[in-house]
Structure 1
Amino acid sequence: MEIIQIVGLGLIATVLILIIKEQKPMFAFLLAAFTGILIFLFLIGKIASVIEVLNNLAQQSGVNMVFLKTILKIIGIAYIAEFGAQIVRDAGQESIASKIELSGKILIMVMAIPIITVIIETVIKLFPAT
Structure 2
Amino acid sequence: MEIIQVVGLGLVATFLILVIKEQKPVFAFLLAAFVGIMIFISLAGKIAEVIGVLQNLAAQARVNNLFLETILKIIGIAYIAEFGAQVTRDAGQGSIASKIELTGKILIMVMAIPIITVIIETVVQILPA
Confirm or deny a common fold (TM above 0.5).
yes
| Superposed structure 1 runs of 4+ greater than 4 Å apart | none
RMSD over equivalenced CA pairs, Å: 0.4
Aligned to 1:105: 105
Map 1:27-38; keep pairs closer than 5 Å. Answer: 27-38=27-38
Asked whether 1:96 is paired with 2:100, we answer no
Aligned to 2:39: 39
Aligned to 2:55: 55
The AA in structure 1 aligned to 2:39 is I
Deviation at 1:128, TM superposition (A): 1.2
Aligned to 1:65: 65
The AA in structure 1 aligned to 2:78 is A
The AA in structure 2 aligned to 1:64 is N
Aligned to 1:19: 19
Partners of 2:68 and 2:57 in 1: how far apart?
10
Which TM-score applies when normalising by structure 2? 0.99
The AA in structure 1 aligned to 2:24 is K
Q: Deviations over 1:85-125 (max 9, x none)?
A: 00000000000000000000000000000000001111111
Q: Could you tell me the percent identity over the aligned residues?
A: 79
SS of residue paired to 2:128: coil
Q: Deviations over 1:39-93 (max 9, x none)?
A: 0011000000000000000011100001100000000000000000000000000
SS of residue paired to 1:22: helix
Partners of 2:40 and 2:28 in 1: how far apart?
18
Partners of 1:41 and 1:98 in 2: how far apart?
24
Partners of 1:123 and 1:53 in 2: how far apart?
29
